[in-house]
Structure 1
Amino acid sequence: MTTSGEPFVEASADVAAAARIGAGTRVWHQAQVAADVEIGTGCTLGKSCYIGSGSRIGDNVKIGNHADIFGAQIDDDVMISPQAVLTEDRAPRATRPDGQRQGLGDWTSTPVIVRCGATVGAGARVAPGAEIGPYALVGIGAVVLRDVAAHALVLGNPARAVGWVCGCAGTLDGRLQCPRCGRAYELAADLLTEIQPRPVTRCRPPADSAGWVASPRMTQVWLPSAEYYATLPKQIASAGVIFRDAEGRVLLVEPTYGAETWEIPGGGLDEGESPWAGARREIKEELGFDLLPGRLLVVDWVPPQPDGRPALTNNLFGGVLDADQIAGLRLADGELKRSKFAIRAEAADMLRPHMARRVAVCLDVVDTDRTAYLENGFDPLGPGEIS
């Protein structure tokens, strides 16, 4: 996420007049930014870091204290840790063969490239021309002499690949799964890609990309498309509320459809609506007042039905109505015919079997701190257990 507003430059920082710094970027104490430097939005430049001429830095980049960046090209969301050094001169000398001090035209810049989301660890050194792939992680003190693959974890001197890391920086296990966030990956031809990738909308050079290198070596970042999401399985969800009165009876409502069919207040969720928000909306639409649902009591997953209905997840919340609220009930015209408070045994007879099972479990847990998980109204762990 980028940050709006003017860049902030602390008074002791030395920023060349010709340097271009994006909105919301913060340049802290004694940092030095040379001319011909472009820095994106929302970045942080730590104390005493150095950004050399020719450097191009994307959005949301964090550069740690005392880090030195010599002409590097850095994509969005990159972390350069404290005291890391990114070099650019393959054959550094102080003087020319004639003994004179070298000038700008006496050496060739071969910049380091750091791709989107990568991390360069504290005290690491990166040789000129090395490219660090997307979401790679260079360990503390590593000396990088060659390219680092996307998502690779490299350690040591010289740096060598010892594993793979997730986009969240968690180290993948032997099955290429992340124990921190649960993402899963697959490896083919030394290219690690996410099996169920998350949306990626950035990972790009700055808007003014003059001088940026379009490397043929590491440009394969998985960018999911709308077509991918269209292939994912679809499920629907609903939300309901188990309202009780002062005597512990359960509020039931009779819809206008069906013969002698009783339900609890609730209904299907709208697209993008949370279960809690859906329950609140249904209360207002069906009962006529704006009341916050209580805590979640039961989640009941119902498998796909033979008539083509997809799998359904029911979310049931609790609630208590006082005498004034009960007197103020206004059933939705054209949707509900009547309401009734029923004791547990009576509710079991009035409700359809699957709904009666859900309500019974709600009443079992309502006075505890537990939330039960059911499948089609039954506990998958077996009788006598509450998931």
Structure 2
Amino acid sequence: MTGTWLPPEQYVKTIANATSYAALYFTDTAGRPVQLRAVGDAGTWQWPGGNMDHGETPWECAVRECFEETGISFAGPQKLLAVHFIARGAAWPLNKFGVVFDGGHLTDAQIARVTLDPAEHTELRVHTLGEWQQIMHPDGFARLRAADTARRTGTVAYLER
């Protein structure tokens, strides 16, 4: 810091930039996580969510992405489960922040009515945490476990990767 004040449009060029995403975490009525298989990487399982658009809040992003990817019109409540930071690296040129909200429990009928966007996801699965651990990448499973723990304990998780 030089002690020289810079106008915001100049100052932001001197600090780290980041992209952001938001998602909704759902379980079935038995508390088993509901996840979607990503098209681009068949080994990636994720929740309805995606990158925020310009002018969009994290909540607006999570609700929009959920509807686009599953057909579920989610109205709330707005309950934060996790904040996720991913440092830039070879796979992505900027830092990334994620916000994960609690989507609540889906009934079997609601799960059966999910309409996946075939450009984004190939299937929906419901498994116990133990079953998910066997099929997920460790980083993805750590995020899943943290969100599940946050929901069960009434806390908010913070993750770094």
Instruction: Give the TM bin, normalised by the shorter chain.
Output: 0.7 to 0.9
1:318 corresponds, among 92, 102, 111, to 102
Aligned-partner SS, 2:152: coil
Would the alpha carbon gap of residues 278 and 227 (structure 1) be closer, same or farther in structure 2, given more than 3 Å must change?
same
Q: What amino acid is the match of 1:288?
A: G
2:31 corresponds, among 238, 248, 253, to 248
Q: Which has the higher helix share?
A: 2
- The answer on whether the counterparts of 2:43 and 2:136 sit within 8 Å (CA) in structure 1 is no
**Which residue in the other structure is 1:265 paired with?**
48
Aligned-partner SS, 1:283: helix
**Which residue in the other structure is 2:82 paired with?**
298
- Cα distance in 2 for residues equivalent to 1:362 and 1:297: 6
- Cα distance in 2 for residues equivalent to 1:328 and 1:227: 49
- Cα distance in 2 for residues equivalent to 1:358 and 1:261: 12
List alignment gaps of at least 5 residues for structure 2: none
Post-superposition offset of 1:271: 2.1
Q: What amino acid is the match of 1:317?
A: F
**Which residue in the other structure is 2:113 paired with?**
328
- Cα distance in 2 for residues equivalent to 1:305 and 1:339: 29
Q: What amino acid is the match of 1:289?
A: I
Q: Which is greater in Rg?
A: 1
In the comparison of the two structures, how many residue pairs are matched?
159
Q: Which has the higher strand share?
A: 2
Structure 2 length-normalised TM: 0.86
Provide the alpha-carbon RMSD of the alignment. 2.3
List alignment gaps of at least 5 residues for structure 1: 1-183, 187-192, 197-223, 377-387
Matches within 5 A, 1:9-88: none
Using the aligned pairs only, state the percent identity: 28
- The answer on whether the counterparts of 2:43 and 2:137 sit within 8 Å (CA) in structure 1 is no
Aligned-partner SS, 1:312: strand
Would the alpha carbon gap of residues 308 and 323 (structure 1) be closer, same or farther in structure 2, given more than 3 Å must change?
closer
Would the alpha carbon gap of residues 244 and 308 (structure 1) be closer, same or farther in structure 2, given more than 3 Å must change?
closer
Post-superposition offset of 1:226: 3.0
